[in-house]
Structure 1
Amino acid sequence: METAHLVHPTITVGNYIVDGWRLKPRRTRILAAGGNNTTNVRLLINNNNVVVQQRLLPIKSASKVDVERLMNILHQDLLHVFDDDHIFDLMVYDKNIKFQDPITKFDNIIGYLFYIDMLKLVFTPNVHIHWIKQTGSYEITTRWAVEMTISFLPWKPSLVITGTSVIGINPTNGKFCSHVDYWDSIDNNDYFSLEGFMDIIKQLHTCNNSPELEAPKYQILKRTATYEVRRYSPFISVKTQSGKLARSTGFNDEAGLPDPNKNDVSCLRSIQGGFAAVLKFSGKHTEDIVRAKQKLLRSSLLLDGLKPKDGRVPDRYNDLLGTVSPMKVGK
Protein backbone atom coordinates (compact mmCIF):
# COMPACT_ATOMS: atom_id res chain seq x y z
CA MET A 1 0.00 0.00 0.00
CA GLU A 2 1.41 3.40 -0.95
CA THR A 3 1.36 6.46 1.26
CA ALA A 4 -0.76 9.33 -0.03
CA HIS A 5 -0.16 13.00 0.87
CA LEU A 6 -2.73 15.78 0.82
CA VAL A 7 -1.72 19.45 1.02
CA HIS A 8 -3.99 21.25 3.55
CA PRO A 9 -7.08 19.10 2.86
CA THR A 10 -10.49 19.66 4.37
CA ILE A 11 -12.50 16.57 5.34
CA THR A 12 -15.89 16.63 7.01
CA VAL A 13 -16.20 14.06 9.79
CA GLY A 14 -19.76 13.95 11.08
CA ASN A 15 -20.50 17.44 12.38
CA TYR A 16 -16.83 18.32 12.53
CA ILE A 17 -14.45 19.79 9.99
CA VAL A 18 -10.88 18.57 10.16
CA ASP A 19 -8.25 20.31 8.07
CA GLY A 20 -4.59 20.76 7.43
CA TRP A 21 -2.74 17.47 8.03
CA ARG A 22 -0.61 14.99 6.14
CA LEU A 23 -2.69 11.94 5.23
CA LYS A 24 -1.05 8.64 6.10
CA PRO A 25 -2.38 5.04 6.40
CA ARG A 26 -2.25 5.01 10.19
CA ARG A 27 -4.22 6.13 13.23
CA THR A 28 -3.93 9.90 13.66
CA ARG A 29 -5.25 12.02 16.55
CA ILE A 30 -6.14 15.58 15.54
CA LEU A 31 -8.20 18.51 16.80
CA ALA A 32 -11.66 18.99 15.34
CA ALA A 33 -12.41 22.69 14.91
CA GLY A 34 -15.78 24.01 15.97
CA GLY A 35 -16.66 21.43 18.59
CA ASN A 36 -16.16 20.63 22.25
CA ASN A 37 -14.42 17.34 21.56
CA THR A 38 -11.44 16.00 19.66
CA THR A 39 -11.82 13.35 17.02
CA ASN A 40 -9.82 10.14 16.94
CA VAL A 41 -9.87 9.08 13.30
CA ARG A 42 -8.55 6.06 11.40
CA LEU A 43 -7.53 7.00 7.87
CA LEU A 44 -7.23 4.05 5.47
CA ILE A 45 -6.45 4.10 1.80
CA ASN A 46 -7.95 1.30 -0.25
CA ASN A 47 -8.16 1.57 -4.02
CA ASN A 48 -7.67 5.34 -3.78
CA ASN A 49 -10.64 5.66 -1.43
CA VAL A 50 -10.38 7.23 2.02
CA VAL A 51 -12.25 5.48 4.82
CA VAL A 52 -12.74 7.58 7.94
CA GLN A 53 -13.68 6.04 11.26
CA GLN A 54 -14.29 8.45 14.14
CA ARG A 55 -14.60 8.36 17.91
CA LEU A 56 -15.25 11.44 20.07
CA LEU A 57 -12.86 12.05 22.95
CA PRO A 58 -12.93 14.67 25.77
CA ILE A 59 -11.38 17.96 24.70
CA LYS A 60 -7.86 18.77 25.82
CA SER A 61 -6.02 22.08 25.82
CA ALA A 62 -3.16 22.77 23.51
CA SER A 63 -0.16 20.91 24.88
CA LYS A 64 1.73 24.09 25.71
CA VAL A 65 0.60 27.70 25.46
CA ASP A 66 3.61 30.00 25.58
CA VAL A 67 1.97 32.81 27.56
CA GLU A 68 5.28 34.65 27.96
CA ARG A 69 5.67 34.83 24.18
CA LEU A 70 2.08 36.00 23.78
CA MET A 71 2.60 38.71 26.40
CA ASN A 72 5.62 40.04 24.53
CA ILE A 73 3.68 40.13 21.25
CA LEU A 74 0.67 41.74 22.93
CA HIS A 75 2.82 44.38 24.60
CA GLN A 76 4.33 45.44 21.27
CA ASP A 77 0.93 45.40 19.54
CA LEU A 78 -0.67 47.58 22.22
CA LEU A 79 2.30 49.92 22.49
CA HIS A 80 2.37 50.54 18.73
CA VAL A 81 -1.30 49.92 17.99
CA PHE A 82 -1.74 53.36 16.39
CA ASP A 83 1.57 53.50 14.54
CA ASP A 84 1.12 53.69 10.78
CA ASP A 85 3.91 51.22 10.09
CA HIS A 86 2.98 48.65 12.73
CA ILE A 87 1.95 45.22 11.44
CA PHE A 88 -0.12 42.92 13.63
CA ASP A 89 0.89 39.28 13.86
CA LEU A 90 -2.53 37.93 12.95
CA MET A 91 -1.32 34.37 13.54
CA VAL A 92 -1.82 34.92 17.28
CA TYR A 93 -5.33 36.41 16.97
CA ASP A 94 -8.39 34.20 16.66
CA LYS A 95 -10.47 35.20 13.64
CA ASN A 96 -13.52 35.31 15.95
CA ILE A 97 -11.87 37.40 18.65
CA LYS A 98 -14.43 39.28 20.73
CA PHE A 99 -13.66 42.91 21.60
CA GLN A 100 -15.69 45.01 24.01
CA ASP A 101 -15.37 48.32 25.81
CA PRO A 102 -18.16 50.37 27.43
CA ILE A 103 -19.34 51.87 24.11
CA THR A 104 -17.98 49.51 21.42
CA LYS A 105 -18.38 45.83 20.62
CA PHE A 106 -17.08 43.57 17.82
CA ASP A 107 -17.14 39.81 17.32
CA ASN A 108 -14.33 39.19 14.84
CA ILE A 109 -10.85 40.30 13.84
CA ILE A 110 -12.19 42.44 10.97
CA GLY A 111 -14.21 44.60 13.36
CA TYR A 112 -11.29 44.70 15.79
CA LEU A 113 -8.92 46.09 13.16
CA PHE A 114 -11.59 48.43 11.76
CA TYR A 115 -12.02 50.01 15.20
CA ILE A 116 -8.27 50.63 15.46
CA ASP A 117 -8.16 52.26 12.01
CA MET A 118 -11.18 54.41 12.86
CA LEU A 119 -9.53 55.74 16.03
CA LYS A 120 -6.37 56.56 14.06
CA LEU A 121 -8.44 58.44 11.48
CA VAL A 122 -10.62 60.49 13.83
CA PHE A 123 -8.20 61.09 16.69
CA THR A 124 -4.50 61.53 17.26
CA PRO A 125 -4.04 58.80 19.86
CA ASN A 126 -1.08 58.30 22.15
CA VAL A 127 -0.87 55.09 24.19
CA HIS A 128 1.04 54.39 27.39
CA ILE A 129 1.32 50.80 28.66
CA HIS A 130 2.05 50.89 32.40
CA TRP A 131 2.27 47.15 32.99
CA ILE A 132 1.28 43.80 31.58
CA LYS A 133 1.11 40.48 33.42
CA GLN A 134 -0.44 37.03 33.40
CA THR A 135 -3.51 36.90 35.65
CA GLY A 136 -4.78 33.40 34.84
CA SER A 137 -3.84 30.20 33.06
CA TYR A 138 -5.20 31.63 29.81
CA GLU A 139 -5.57 35.32 30.72
CA ILE A 140 -3.39 38.43 30.42
CA THR A 141 -4.18 41.80 32.02
CA THR A 142 -2.65 45.14 31.16
CA ARG A 143 -2.98 48.67 32.55
CA TRP A 144 -2.86 51.54 30.06
CA ALA A 145 -3.64 55.18 29.39
CA VAL A 146 -4.77 56.67 26.08
CA GLU A 147 -4.68 60.37 25.24
CA MET A 148 -6.47 61.50 22.08
CA THR A 149 -6.91 64.90 20.45
CA ILE A 150 -9.61 65.80 17.93
CA SER A 151 -7.63 68.29 15.90
CA PHE A 152 -10.31 69.02 13.29
CA LEU A 153 -12.63 70.63 15.86
CA PRO A 154 -11.99 74.35 16.45
CA TRP A 155 -11.51 73.98 20.22
CA LYS A 156 -9.33 70.84 19.81
CA PRO A 157 -10.74 68.81 22.70
CA SER A 158 -8.64 66.09 24.30
CA LEU A 159 -9.86 62.72 25.52
CA VAL A 160 -8.07 60.86 28.27
CA ILE A 161 -9.09 57.31 29.10
CA THR A 162 -7.26 55.03 31.50
CA GLY A 163 -8.10 51.52 32.54
CA THR A 164 -7.29 47.85 32.25
CA SER A 165 -7.70 45.28 29.50
CA VAL A 166 -8.33 41.61 30.11
CA ILE A 167 -7.23 39.47 27.18
CA GLY A 168 -8.31 35.85 26.98
CA ILE A 169 -6.39 33.03 25.28
CA ASN A 170 -8.11 30.15 23.53
CA PRO A 171 -6.53 27.03 25.11
CA THR A 172 -7.25 24.89 22.05
CA ASN A 173 -5.21 26.98 19.61
CA GLY A 174 -3.14 29.31 21.80
CA LYS A 175 -4.56 32.46 20.19
CA PHE A 176 -6.08 35.63 21.65
CA CYS A 177 -9.84 35.10 21.64
CA SER A 178 -11.21 38.00 23.72
CA HIS A 179 -10.31 41.58 24.65
CA VAL A 180 -12.39 43.47 27.23
CA ASP A 181 -11.59 47.04 28.33
CA TYR A 182 -12.55 48.49 31.71
CA TRP A 183 -12.41 52.28 32.17
CA ASP A 184 -11.36 53.88 35.46
CA SER A 185 -13.69 56.86 35.01
CA ILE A 186 -17.00 54.96 35.18
CA ASP A 187 -18.71 52.31 37.31
CA ASN A 188 -20.78 50.63 34.62
CA ASN A 189 -18.37 49.07 32.12
CA ASP A 190 -20.95 46.81 30.48
CA TYR A 191 -21.87 47.43 26.83
CA PHE A 192 -23.65 49.77 26.09
CA SER A 193 -22.74 52.08 28.99
CA LEU A 194 -24.57 55.39 28.99
CA GLU A 195 -22.17 56.48 31.72
CA GLY A 196 -19.23 55.77 29.42
CA PHE A 197 -20.88 57.62 26.53
CA MET A 198 -21.51 60.69 28.71
CA ASP A 199 -17.91 60.62 29.92
CA ILE A 200 -16.77 60.98 26.30
CA ILE A 201 -19.32 63.75 25.59
CA LYS A 202 -18.22 65.65 28.69
CA GLN A 203 -14.58 65.59 27.59
CA LEU A 204 -15.50 66.67 24.07
CA HIS A 205 -17.13 69.79 25.48
CA THR A 206 -13.99 70.78 27.41
CA CYS A 207 -12.31 73.79 25.87
CA ASN A 208 -8.51 73.72 25.82
CA ASN A 209 -7.94 77.42 25.30
CA SER A 210 -5.69 78.11 28.29
CA PRO A 211 -2.49 80.04 27.57
CA GLU A 212 0.30 78.07 25.92
CA LEU A 213 2.36 77.92 29.10
CA GLU A 214 5.50 75.88 29.43
CA ALA A 215 3.68 73.63 31.89
CA PRO A 216 5.23 70.85 33.96
CA LYS A 217 5.59 67.60 32.06
CA TYR A 218 3.62 64.68 33.43
CA GLN A 219 2.13 61.37 32.46
CA ILE A 220 -1.41 60.40 33.44
CA LEU A 221 -1.46 57.03 35.17
CA LYS A 222 -5.11 56.95 36.15
CA ARG A 223 -8.13 59.14 35.44
CA THR A 224 -11.32 58.71 37.42
CA ALA A 225 -14.51 60.75 37.44
CA THR A 226 -13.08 62.84 40.30
CA TYR A 227 -9.30 63.00 40.00
CA GLU A 228 -6.20 62.07 38.02
CA VAL A 229 -3.07 60.34 39.24
CA ARG A 230 -0.03 61.80 37.50
CA ARG A 231 3.70 61.21 37.45
CA TYR A 232 5.48 64.57 37.19
CA SER A 233 8.96 65.31 35.92
CA PRO A 234 11.02 67.83 37.95
CA PHE A 235 9.87 71.44 37.49
CA ILE A 236 10.16 74.96 38.90
CA SER A 237 7.44 76.75 40.83
CA VAL A 238 7.25 80.53 40.53
CA LYS A 239 5.08 82.81 42.65
CA THR A 240 4.77 86.55 42.05
CA GLN A 241 3.98 89.34 44.46
CA SER A 242 0.66 89.78 42.67
CA GLY A 243 -0.27 86.23 43.65
CA LYS A 244 0.14 84.65 40.24
CA LEU A 245 1.60 81.15 40.51
CA ALA A 246 3.12 79.31 37.58
CA ARG A 247 4.88 75.99 37.24
CA SER A 248 7.37 75.23 34.53
CA THR A 249 10.46 73.34 33.48
CA GLY A 250 11.80 76.76 32.43
CA PHE A 251 10.73 80.32 31.83
CA ASN A 252 9.07 81.69 28.75
CA ASP A 253 8.13 85.38 28.58
CA GLU A 254 6.13 84.85 25.40
CA ALA A 255 3.97 82.28 27.16
CA GLY A 256 3.26 84.72 29.98
CA LEU A 257 5.47 83.21 32.68
CA PRO A 258 7.13 85.75 34.98
CA ASP A 259 10.81 86.57 34.54
CA PRO A 260 12.64 85.34 37.69
CA ASN A 261 14.99 88.34 37.42
CA LYS A 262 12.15 90.84 37.79
CA ASN A 263 11.06 92.28 41.14
CA ASP A 264 7.55 90.80 40.80
CA VAL A 265 8.83 87.31 41.68
CA SER A 266 8.37 86.62 45.39
CA CYS A 267 9.13 82.90 45.49
CA LEU A 268 11.13 80.55 43.28
CA ARG A 269 11.14 76.87 44.21
CA SER A 270 12.46 73.70 42.57
CA ILE A 271 10.09 70.71 42.72
CA GLN A 272 11.56 67.23 42.43
CA GLY A 273 8.49 65.82 40.73
CA GLY A 274 6.98 62.45 41.56
CA PHE A 275 3.45 61.19 41.94
CA ALA A 276 0.46 63.44 42.57
CA ALA A 277 -3.30 63.21 42.61
CA VAL A 278 -4.92 66.13 40.82
CA LEU A 279 -8.45 67.48 41.13
CA LYS A 280 -9.54 70.10 38.61
CA PHE A 281 -12.14 72.72 39.33
CA SER A 282 -13.19 76.06 37.96
CA GLY A 283 -14.24 79.21 39.70
CA LYS A 284 -12.76 81.30 42.48
CA HIS A 285 -9.56 80.21 44.16
CA THR A 286 -10.37 81.04 47.79
CA GLU A 287 -8.90 79.20 50.75
CA ASP A 288 -12.29 77.78 51.76
CA ILE A 289 -12.89 76.38 48.29
CA VAL A 290 -9.40 74.90 48.13
CA ARG A 291 -9.89 73.20 51.50
CA ALA A 292 -13.22 71.75 50.38
CA LYS A 293 -11.65 70.43 47.16
CA GLN A 294 -8.75 69.01 49.15
CA LYS A 295 -11.19 67.16 51.40
CA LEU A 296 -13.04 65.78 48.38
CA LEU A 297 -9.79 64.68 46.76
CA ARG A 298 -8.51 62.99 49.92
CA SER A 299 -11.77 61.13 50.55
CA SER A 300 -11.89 59.93 46.93
CA LEU A 301 -8.34 58.61 47.15
CA LEU A 302 -9.01 56.77 50.40
CA LEU A 303 -12.18 55.29 48.93
CA ASP A 304 -10.10 53.87 46.05
CA GLY A 305 -7.51 52.41 48.40
CA LEU A 306 -4.81 55.09 47.89
CA LYS A 307 -2.98 56.67 50.83
CA PRO A 308 -2.36 60.40 50.29
CA LYS A 309 0.38 62.22 52.14
CA ASP A 310 -0.33 65.43 54.00
CA GLY A 311 -0.10 68.71 52.17
CA ARG A 312 -1.26 70.28 48.93
CA VAL A 313 0.15 72.47 46.18
CA PRO A 314 -2.35 74.78 44.44
CA ASP A 315 -1.77 75.51 40.78
CA ARG A 316 -3.40 78.46 39.07
CA TYR A 317 -2.64 79.02 35.40
CA ASN A 318 -5.67 81.00 34.38
CA ASP A 319 -8.20 82.64 36.67
CA LEU A 320 -10.80 82.73 33.90
CA LEU A 321 -10.75 79.00 33.24
CA GLY A 322 -10.13 77.64 36.70
CA THR A 323 -7.54 76.08 38.95
CA VAL A 324 -5.95 72.77 39.63
CA SER A 325 -5.27 71.39 43.10
CA PRO A 326 -2.81 68.52 43.27
CA MET A 327 -2.02 66.47 46.35
CA LYS A 328 0.93 64.12 46.79
CA VAL A 329 0.10 60.46 46.85
CA GLY A 330 2.14 57.54 48.11
CA LYS A 331 3.17 55.23 45.31
Structure 2
Amino acid sequence: MKFILLPWNPELVITGTSIMGINPETGKFCSHVDFWDSIKKNDYFSLEGLWDVLKQLQIYKTPDLESPKYQILKRTANYEVRKYTPFIVVEANGDKLAGSTGFNDVTGYIFGKNSRSEKIPMTTPLFTQAFDAELSKVSIQVVLPLEKYISSLPDPNQETISMRKVEGGIVAVLKFSGRATEDVVREKEKALRSSLINDGLKTKTGCLLAQYNDPGRTWSFEMRNEVLIWLEEFSLD
Protein backbone atom coordinates (compact mmCIF):
# COMPACT_ATOMS: atom_id res chain seq x y z
CA MET A 1 0.00 0.00 0.00
CA LYS A 2 1.38 3.42 -0.96
CA PHE A 3 1.18 6.11 1.74
CA ILE A 4 0.33 9.05 -0.51
CA LEU A 5 0.08 11.62 2.29
CA LEU A 6 3.88 11.96 2.22
CA PRO A 7 5.67 13.34 -0.85
CA TRP A 8 8.00 10.34 -1.27
CA ASN A 9 5.02 7.89 -1.22
CA PRO A 10 6.46 5.26 1.14
CA GLU A 11 5.12 1.73 0.80
CA LEU A 12 3.50 0.19 3.86
CA VAL A 13 3.67 -3.59 3.92
CA ILE A 14 1.85 -5.63 6.54
CA THR A 15 1.64 -9.42 6.35
CA GLY A 16 0.12 -11.83 8.84
CA THR A 17 -3.08 -13.62 9.73
CA SER A 18 -6.62 -12.28 10.12
CA ILE A 19 -9.06 -14.21 12.29
CA MET A 20 -12.76 -13.45 11.79
CA GLY A 21 -15.40 -14.48 14.33
CA ILE A 22 -18.93 -15.34 13.18
CA ASN A 23 -22.09 -15.10 15.27
CA PRO A 24 -23.73 -18.52 14.89
CA GLU A 25 -27.20 -17.06 15.37
CA THR A 26 -26.98 -14.33 12.74
CA GLY A 27 -24.25 -15.74 10.51
CA LYS A 28 -22.57 -12.33 10.51
CA PHE A 29 -19.01 -11.37 11.42
CA CYS A 30 -18.78 -10.28 15.05
CA SER A 31 -15.02 -10.01 15.65
CA HIS A 32 -11.83 -9.38 13.73
CA VAL A 33 -8.27 -9.82 15.02
CA ASP A 34 -5.09 -9.26 12.99
CA PHE A 35 -1.76 -10.86 13.86
CA TRP A 36 1.19 -9.12 12.16
CA ASP A 37 4.32 -11.07 11.24
CA SER A 38 6.50 -8.08 12.10
CA ILE A 39 5.56 -7.62 15.78
CA LYS A 40 5.25 -9.81 18.88
CA LYS A 41 2.50 -7.96 20.78
CA ASN A 42 -0.64 -7.81 18.67
CA ASP A 43 -2.75 -5.81 21.13
CA TYR A 44 -5.62 -3.62 19.93
CA PHE A 45 -3.32 -0.61 20.04
CA SER A 46 0.28 -1.73 20.15
CA LEU A 47 3.15 0.72 20.52
CA GLU A 48 5.29 -1.92 18.83
CA GLY A 49 2.88 -1.89 15.91
CA LEU A 50 2.93 1.91 15.74
CA TRP A 51 6.73 1.91 15.68
CA ASP A 52 6.66 -0.74 12.94
CA VAL A 53 4.51 1.58 10.80
CA LEU A 54 6.67 4.63 11.51
CA LYS A 55 9.82 2.75 10.47
CA GLN A 56 8.26 2.11 7.08
CA LEU A 57 7.76 5.84 6.54
CA GLN A 58 11.53 6.30 6.18
CA ILE A 59 12.57 8.14 3.04
CA TYR A 60 13.77 5.79 0.29
CA LYS A 61 14.21 7.29 -3.16
CA THR A 62 13.36 4.66 -5.76
CA PRO A 63 13.93 5.82 -9.36
CA ASP A 64 10.95 5.70 -11.71
CA LEU A 65 12.54 2.96 -13.79
CA GLU A 66 11.55 -0.60 -14.62
CA SER A 67 12.71 -3.23 -12.15
CA PRO A 68 12.29 -7.01 -11.73
CA LYS A 69 8.78 -8.02 -10.69
CA TYR A 70 8.20 -9.60 -7.31
CA GLN A 71 5.49 -10.38 -4.80
CA ILE A 72 6.02 -9.85 -1.07
CA LEU A 73 5.08 -13.08 0.72
CA LYS A 74 6.01 -12.15 4.27
CA ARG A 75 7.44 -9.20 6.16
CA THR A 76 9.04 -9.72 9.56
CA ALA A 77 10.69 -7.25 11.91
CA ASN A 78 14.09 -7.93 10.31
CA TYR A 79 13.48 -8.83 6.67
CA GLU A 80 10.90 -9.53 4.00
CA VAL A 81 10.44 -12.58 1.80
CA ARG A 82 9.77 -12.01 -1.90
CA LYS A 83 8.93 -14.21 -4.84
CA TYR A 84 10.68 -12.96 -8.00
CA THR A 85 9.59 -13.73 -11.54
CA PRO A 86 12.37 -14.55 -14.07
CA PHE A 87 14.44 -11.72 -15.52
CA ILE A 88 17.50 -11.28 -17.74
CA VAL A 89 20.79 -9.68 -16.75
CA VAL A 90 23.88 -8.57 -18.61
CA GLU A 91 26.89 -9.14 -16.38
CA ALA A 92 30.64 -8.86 -16.03
CA ASN A 93 33.14 -10.03 -13.46
CA GLY A 94 33.54 -7.80 -10.41
CA ASP A 95 36.04 -7.55 -7.59
CA LYS A 96 33.89 -7.08 -4.48
CA LEU A 97 30.25 -6.75 -3.46
CA ALA A 98 30.30 -2.97 -3.15
CA GLY A 99 32.81 -2.48 -5.95
CA SER A 100 32.38 -0.92 -9.38
CA THR A 101 34.69 -3.14 -11.45
CA GLY A 102 32.82 -4.14 -14.60
CA PHE A 103 30.25 -1.32 -14.31
CA ASN A 104 31.36 0.49 -17.46
CA ASP A 105 31.24 -2.77 -19.42
CA VAL A 106 27.64 -3.67 -18.52
CA THR A 107 26.32 -0.12 -18.83
CA GLY A 108 28.21 0.28 -22.11
CA TYR A 109 26.18 -2.63 -23.51
CA ILE A 110 22.82 -0.96 -22.83
CA PHE A 111 24.13 2.44 -24.00
CA GLY A 112 24.80 1.01 -27.47
CA LYS A 113 28.13 -0.80 -27.35
CA ASN A 114 26.67 -3.99 -28.84
CA SER A 115 26.43 -5.70 -32.22
CA ARG A 116 23.50 -3.53 -33.38
CA SER A 117 24.50 -0.29 -31.64
CA GLU A 118 21.08 -0.57 -29.99
CA LYS A 119 20.32 1.53 -26.94
CA ILE A 120 18.35 -0.34 -24.28
CA PRO A 121 16.28 1.46 -21.62
CA MET A 122 17.87 1.85 -18.21
CA THR A 123 16.46 -0.20 -15.32
CA THR A 124 16.98 -0.44 -11.59
CA PRO A 125 18.55 -1.81 -9.42
CA LEU A 126 22.18 -2.48 -10.19
CA PHE A 127 22.95 -5.94 -8.81
CA THR A 128 26.25 -7.22 -7.51
CA GLN A 129 26.21 -10.94 -6.80
CA ALA A 130 28.58 -13.02 -4.70
CA PHE A 131 28.48 -16.72 -5.59
CA ASP A 132 30.53 -18.19 -2.73
CA ALA A 133 30.39 -18.22 1.06
CA GLU A 134 33.40 -15.90 1.35
CA LEU A 135 31.66 -13.35 -0.92
CA SER A 136 34.77 -13.24 -3.08
CA LYS A 137 33.59 -14.51 -6.48
CA VAL A 138 31.53 -11.58 -7.73
CA SER A 139 29.68 -10.37 -10.82
CA ILE A 140 28.10 -6.98 -11.52
CA GLN A 141 24.73 -7.05 -13.29
CA VAL A 142 22.30 -4.75 -15.06
CA VAL A 143 18.74 -6.01 -15.41
CA LEU A 144 17.31 -5.84 -18.93
CA PRO A 145 13.70 -4.74 -19.64
CA LEU A 146 11.10 -7.44 -19.04
CA GLU A 147 9.86 -7.51 -22.62
CA LYS A 148 13.31 -8.53 -23.85
CA TYR A 149 14.26 -12.12 -24.67
CA ILE A 150 17.84 -13.34 -24.92
CA SER A 151 17.21 -14.48 -28.51
CA SER A 152 16.13 -10.95 -29.50
CA LEU A 153 18.97 -9.07 -27.83
CA PRO A 154 22.06 -7.83 -29.69
CA ASP A 155 25.29 -9.65 -29.00
CA PRO A 156 27.87 -8.01 -26.74
CA ASN A 157 30.86 -6.40 -28.39
CA GLN A 158 33.13 -7.35 -25.50
CA GLU A 159 34.15 -10.81 -24.40
CA THR A 160 34.15 -9.60 -20.79
CA ILE A 161 30.35 -9.48 -20.60
CA SER A 162 27.61 -12.07 -21.03
CA MET A 163 23.85 -12.43 -20.69
CA ARG A 164 21.80 -14.96 -18.80
CA LYS A 165 18.30 -15.59 -17.53
CA VAL A 166 17.75 -15.52 -13.77
CA GLU A 167 15.00 -18.04 -13.10
CA GLY A 168 13.59 -16.15 -10.15
CA GLY A 169 12.45 -17.81 -6.95
CA ILE A 170 12.15 -17.01 -3.26
CA VAL A 171 14.53 -14.52 -1.70
CA ALA A 172 14.91 -12.86 1.71
CA VAL A 173 15.64 -9.14 1.66
CA LEU A 174 17.10 -6.67 4.14
CA LYS A 175 16.65 -3.02 3.12
CA PHE A 176 18.94 -0.21 4.30
CA SER A 177 19.86 3.35 3.42
CA GLY A 178 23.18 5.18 3.24
CA ARG A 179 26.37 4.41 1.37
CA ALA A 180 26.74 0.73 0.56
CA THR A 181 30.39 0.30 1.52
CA GLU A 182 31.95 -3.16 1.57
CA ASP A 183 32.02 -3.30 5.38
CA VAL A 184 28.38 -2.22 5.67
CA VAL A 185 27.20 -4.72 3.06
CA ARG A 186 29.03 -7.63 4.70
CA GLU A 187 27.60 -6.62 8.08
CA LYS A 188 24.07 -6.54 6.64
CA GLU A 189 24.59 -9.92 4.96
CA LYS A 190 25.67 -11.49 8.24
CA ALA A 191 22.71 -9.97 10.09
CA LEU A 192 20.23 -11.19 7.47
CA ARG A 193 21.69 -14.69 7.31
CA SER A 194 21.66 -14.92 11.11
CA SER A 195 17.98 -13.92 11.23
CA LEU A 196 17.09 -16.49 8.58
CA ILE A 197 18.95 -19.28 10.35
CA ASN A 198 17.28 -18.35 13.66
CA ASP A 199 13.90 -18.59 11.92
CA GLY A 200 14.74 -22.05 10.59
CA LEU A 201 15.02 -21.07 6.92
CA LYS A 202 17.48 -22.78 4.59
CA THR A 203 19.66 -20.32 2.67
CA LYS A 204 21.68 -20.68 -0.50
CA THR A 205 25.35 -19.77 -0.75
CA GLY A 206 26.28 -16.19 -1.56
CA CYS A 207 24.10 -13.09 -1.75
CA LEU A 208 23.20 -10.08 -3.87
CA LEU A 209 23.54 -6.37 -3.27
CA ALA A 210 20.88 -4.24 -4.97
CA GLN A 211 21.64 -0.53 -5.39
CA TYR A 212 18.77 1.58 -6.72
CA ASN A 213 20.30 5.05 -6.87
CA ASP A 214 23.00 7.03 -8.59
CA PRO A 215 25.37 7.88 -5.69
CA GLY A 216 26.38 11.10 -7.43
CA ARG A 217 22.79 12.39 -7.56
CA THR A 218 21.21 11.05 -4.37
CA TRP A 219 21.57 12.12 -0.76
CA SER A 220 22.94 9.33 1.41
CA PHE A 221 19.86 9.18 3.68
CA GLU A 222 17.59 8.73 0.62
CA MET A 223 19.46 5.80 -0.88
CA ARG A 224 17.66 2.49 -1.23
CA ASN A 225 19.96 -0.50 -0.89
CA GLU A 226 19.10 -4.15 -0.30
CA VAL A 227 20.93 -7.34 0.57
CA LEU A 228 19.22 -10.42 -0.87
CA ILE A 229 19.77 -14.09 -0.03
CA TRP A 230 18.09 -16.82 -2.07
CA LEU A 231 16.20 -19.42 -0.06
CA GLU A 232 16.21 -23.15 -0.70
CA GLU A 233 12.57 -23.43 0.23
CA PHE A 234 9.83 -21.39 1.88
CA SER A 235 6.29 -22.04 3.06
CA LEU A 236 3.68 -19.73 4.53
CA ASP A 237 2.26 -22.60 6.62
Q: Note the C-alpha offset of 1:202.
A: 2.1
Rate the CA distance shift 1:271–1:169 in 2: closer, same or farther, 3 A: same
Any conservation in 2 of the 1:238–1:265 contact (CA below 8 Å)? no
- Within the alignment, does 1:308 sit opposite 2:203 as a pair? yes
Any conservation in 1 of the 2:87–2:167 contact (CA below 8 Å)? yes
What corresponds to 2:13 in structure 1? Answer: 160
Segment of structure 1 superposing worse, 269-278 or 239-248? 239-248
Q: Note the C-alpha offset of 1:298.
A: 1.5
Any conservation in 2 of the 1:247–1:315 contact (CA below 8 Å)? no
Rate the CA distance shift 1:310–1:242 in 2: closer, same or farther, 3 A: closer
Rate the CA distance shift 1:181–1:247 in 2: closer, same or farther, 3 A: farther
Rate the CA distance shift 1:260–1:168 in 2: closer, same or farther, 3 A: farther
- Within the alignment, does 1:192 sit opposite 2:45 as a pair? yes
What corresponds to 2:58 in structure 1? Answer: 205
Distance (whole Å) between structure 2 residues aligned to residue 231 and residue 268 of structure 1 = 22
Distance (whole Å) between structure 1 residues aligned to residue 87 and residue 24 of structure 2 = 49
Equivalent position to 2:103, from 217, 236, 242:
242
Once the two structures are superposed, what CA deviation does each residue of 1:288-331 show, in whole Å capped at 9, x if it has no partner?
Answer: 33322222111111222322222212222224414211111122
Any conservation in 1 of the 2:87–2:146 contact (CA below 8 Å)? no
Any conservation in 1 of the 2:79–2:192 contact (CA below 8 Å)? yes
Any conservation in 2 of the 1:234–1:249 contact (CA below 8 Å)? no
- Percent of pairs with identical residues: 52
- Runs of 4+ off more than 4 Å: 259-265
Structure 2 counterparts to residues 58-207 of structure 1, below 5 A? 148-207=1-60
Structure 2 counterparts to residues 285-296 of structure 1, below 5 A? 285-296=180-191
The DSSP-based 3-state class of the residue aligned with 1:149 is coil
Q: Which protein has the bigger strand share? A: 1
Rate the CA distance shift 1:248–1:292 in 2: closer, same or farther, 3 A: same
Higher relative contact order (CA 8 A, sep 6+): 2
What is the aligned residue count?
A: 177
Distance (whole Å) between structure 1 residues aligned to residue 11 and residue 67 of structure 2 = 16
Larger radius of gyration: 1
Mark the runs of 5 or more structure 1 residues left unpaired by the alignment. Answer: 1-147, 253-258
What corresponds to 1:215 in structure 2? Answer: 67
The DSSP-based 3-state class of the residue aligned with 1:186 is coil
Mark the runs of 5 or more structure 2 residues left unpaired by the alignment. Answer: 93-101, 105-125, 128-140, 148-153
Any conservation in 1 of the 2:208–2:227 contact (CA below 8 Å)? yes
RMSD: 2.8
Distance (whole Å) between structure 2 residues aligned to residue 199 and residue 234 of structure 1 = 31
Equivalent position to 1:278, from 136, 153, 173:
173
Equivalent position to 2:161, from 266, 291, 296:
266
Distance (whole Å) between structure 2 residues aligned to residue 262 and residue 155 of structure 1 = 39
- Within the alignment, does 1:324 sit opposite 2:226 as a pair? yes
Structure 2 counterparts to residues 38-49 of structure 1, below 5 A? none
Rate the CA distance shift 1:267–1:283 in 2: closer, same or farther, 3 A: farther
Any conservation in 1 of the 2:156–2:162 contact (CA below 8 Å)? no
The two structures have a TM-score, normalised by structure 1, of 0.47
